[in-house]
Amino acid sequence: MDVDAQTMARLEARSVQLARHLKPCPLCGRTEHDVVGTRDRDGRDLRTVMCQACGHVFTNPAPNEDDLKTYYTEYYRSTYKGVLTPKRKHVLRAGYRALERLSRLRGFLTPPAKVLDVGAGGGEFAYLLSCTGYDVVGVEPNAGYASFASQSYGLDIRATTLELIDFPAATFDAITMHHVLEHIADPSAALKRLACWLKPGGLMVVEVPNVMSWFHAPRRRFHDAHLHTFNHAGLEDIFTATGFKVESLYITPGTAHLNIVAREQTSPTESPSCRNATSDVAAHFKRHTEIAHVVSGMAFKRIWGNAVRPWRERQMLVSLGNPTVARDILDRLFAAKSTAA
């Protein structure tokens, strides 16, 4: 069963119309900022600013945390209409991404270990974690995807939002969160709360979009649902300021997404202040013009990549024996990766 398209359109419109309020920088608390964008990637009004003190880029004015909580709760209820089945190509794509993430995680965490996957989506990463021997719990606000992940892969996926769920202190060895932190009004408060659920010395593994990426054209740089667009220094600083020790920062080739691995420190030894990334971020905006974007070849690479992707994905499915069920796609991808390793 598919989620009612009209309901989703109504919810999307509602998210755009949420009351917005001027806020201080969520990283350093200063109020001075420069406007760096007035439209989102779809041409709708969206005021985006860069903090003059630390260079963090964020939506301002932005919705209040309580309004967002209400919105996401409504989103959760509206998607509670049964199982939402992703297409084979989407499982394949998510499966490939999940295998890359899994391979990086294994360098820091040996199975068996208890892992919470926040924003589990269709459950592909959580399932591959479980195939590797990790004990996984997922949280996914879209009830349709959560049902699919539970039923297809036999996973423990809680259909709710991060704000509405709680776990006992020191439950998990690691928490993974791919493309979630940029949607949260107060990322510092969220990281402090998540740190409580980690065992002493536990790992936070987070992936977010990078403000200094060349992947999107400048006019498509900002997304209405993203309250923050992090730079690498700001992302490291927010982890350090919330009691973590940064172990690794990896930049995904192509998209330039920021992937951070940080370890919970029960007794943080220092209380560092935010670095100032203003000149680096401003220099990126100055360099990355529409013309520079075309000259960089990124636009052409993306058009070509999108044109050949259906053919490549069909070939990949054929090479896996043309599996029709999501679980078989992931099992065969996992087996192929294990054989190649």
- List residues near Zn ion by CB under 5 A: 25, 27-28, 51, 53-54, 56
Alpha helices in the chain (DSSP H): 5-17, 65-78, 88-105, 124-132, 143-153, 187-197, 232-241, 278-287, 290-296, 298-319, 326-340
Distance of closest approach, residue 29 Cβ to Zn ion, in angstroms: 7
Distance of closest approach, residue 28 Cβ to Zn ion, in angstroms: 3
Position 206, amino acid: V
Structure tokens at 7: 């309901």
Examine residue 253 and say whether the peptide bond preceding it is cis (omega within 30 degrees of 0).
no
Helices 326-340 and 143-153: angle between axes, nearest 10 degrees: 60
Report the residue number, 53 or 195, with the smaller CB distance to Zn ion.
53
Report the residue number, 58 or 75, with the smaller CB distance to Zn ion.
58
Distance of closest approach, residue 269 Cβ to Zn ion, in angstroms: 23
Structure tokens at 52: 């003059």
Report the residue number, 30 or 41, with the smaller CB distance to Zn ion.
30
Q: Is 7 left (phi over 0), alpha (psi -120 to 50) or beta?
A: alpha
Distance of closest approach, residue 265 Cβ to Zn ion, in angstroms: 23
Distance of closest approach, residue 248 Cβ to Zn ion, in angstroms: 24
Q: Is there a contact between 56 and 230 (Cβ–Cβ < 8 Å)?
A: yes
Report CA torsion sign: 119, 340, 93, 325: negative
Distance of closest approach, residue 25 Cβ to Zn ion, in angstroms: 3
Q: Is there a contact between 77 and 24 (Cβ–Cβ < 8 Å)?
A: no
The 3-state DSSP composition of the chain as helix, strand, coil percent (nearest 5) reads: 45, 20, 35
Report the residue number, 53 or 155, with the smaller CB distance to Zn ion.
53
Distance of closest approach, residue 164 Cβ to Zn ion, in angstroms: 29
Report the residue number, 51 or 190, with the smaller CB distance to Zn ion.
51
Report the residue number, 51 or 120, with the smaller CB distance to Zn ion.
51
Distance of closest approach, residue 258 Cβ to Zn ion, in angstroms: 17
Report the residue number, 237 or 331, with the smaller CB distance to Zn ion.
237
Distance between CA atoms of 13 and 209, rounded to whole angstroms? 23
Distance between CA atoms of 316 and 320, rounded to whole angstroms? 6
Distance between CA atoms of 315 and 107, rounded to whole angstroms? 30
Report the residue number, 60 or 147, with the smaller CB distance to Zn ion.
60
